[in-house]
Amino acid sequence: MLTLIKNGEVYAPHYLGVKDVLIAADKIAYVAEQIEIPVQFAPIKIIDATGQFVVPGFIDAHVHIIGGGGEGGFKTRTPELMLSDITTSGVTTLVGVLGTDGTTRRMESLLAKARALEEEGVSCYIHTGSYQVPVKTLTNRIEDDIILIDKIIGVGEIAISDHRSSQPTFEELVRIATAARNGGILSGKAGLLEIHVGDGKEKLSLLEKILDQTEIPARHFHPTHINRNMELFTAGISYAKRGCYVDFTTSTIPQFLEEGEVKCSTGLKIMLKQGVPIGSITFSSDGQASLPYFDDNGEFSGLQVGKMSSLFQEVRDAVIEEGIPLEQAIQVITSNPAQVLKLPHKGSIQKGKDADFVMLDKETLNIQTVIARGQIMVERGVPVVKGTFES
């Protein structure tokens, strides 16, 4: 099947100008200034992208695809993610994680959900483990999970500096990181260690100690929630300047912002002004996670649910409210996470890459069309492909 996107202003994510893009099955076959439609040829679906920006499909590197939470008891376990929540957010590739609950949420279910989402049309990977140490894996070894199970590309999210974590020691975290790295080397995968950073006083000190005292490369760590307060955010700036990755969480609630959480769009502008390379920064939604809040005694007070739609909303705000060029802002949810996750076929508009696209209205930057692996998932902002159990 052939699809031709015509007359769109292409950000690949770097600006290419007005281009035509030819899709063959699930791959990008050609990008050119003008692609003529041959006479008496196989059927070609034409998408007129006049007045639209054409950008790579978004990559969300941290999503609770089978739900999360439970900090307020069983009734607060958040529900599974639905396909249209993903696609209407412009996301075509995502990474599933467990989080706080590694007991009632299990790796078997995480893997099954990832395969289900693949069958429904998007690309989905997962990390092995949860907040807890020792890491709960499928095969009983981190290396084996990464090497032998196609969907598993790393470990996490392992929690540090958080009252809900297992308080891993320096030695424990080094062993986990080494196992993840070795699994990645032997399988050609990222071997990434996804790190949940809480609001504890230790901040990133454990990761900094690993950088100072071991040979493990800095870019095997992907600390997230780096914007949860100004103290951690400031530590994140210094950490990123060491050649490390930092990840902002876009899902939030007004209470968190009032208590000092740094809005992602604002944080992006600050980090860039502080000299952090754009390639070191990613955004992720923490979609479908619980967003719990606790009182001064650490007692649960309530929660809301993370939304994948927040991912592009913060990029959009970075462009419209903070004046960051689209070419730069879009990298934090396209080419940057593709690099972090070692997904060379994702994150850019280039011949031979996966045919993942989002088309944005040039005036409003609203999402109009979403294409995942060559299939139109959203048209005029409305999902045209729905999940198996969506009405």
**Catalytic residue ranges:** 286
CA nearest 286: which of 84, 94, 58, 103?
Answer: 94
Peptide bond into 172 cis (omega under 30): no
Distance between CA atoms of 149 and 126, rounded to whole angstroms? 10
- Rounded to 5 degrees, what are φ and ψ at 344? -65, -20
User: What's the per-residue H, E or C state across the chain?
Assistant: CEEEEEEEEEECCCEEEEEEEEEECCEEEEEECCCCCCCCCCCEEEEECCCEEEEECEEEEEECCCCCECCCCHHHECCCCCHHHHHCCCEEEEEECCCCCCCCCCHHHHHHHHHHHHHHCCEEEEEECCCCCCCCCCCCCHHHHHHHCCCEEEEEEEEECCCCCCCCCHHHHHHHHHHHHHHHHHHCCCCEEEEEECCCCCCCHHHHHHHHHCCCCHHHEEEECCCCCHHHHHHHHHHHCCCCCEEEECCCCHHHHHCCCCCHHHHHHHHHHCCCCHHHEEEECCECCEEEEECCCCCEEEEEECCCCHHHHHHHHHHHCCCCCHHHHHHHHCHHHHHHCCCCCCCCCCCCCECCEEEEECCCCCEEEEEECCEEEEECCEECCCCCCCC
Distance between CA atoms of 196 and 99, rounded to whole angstroms? 8
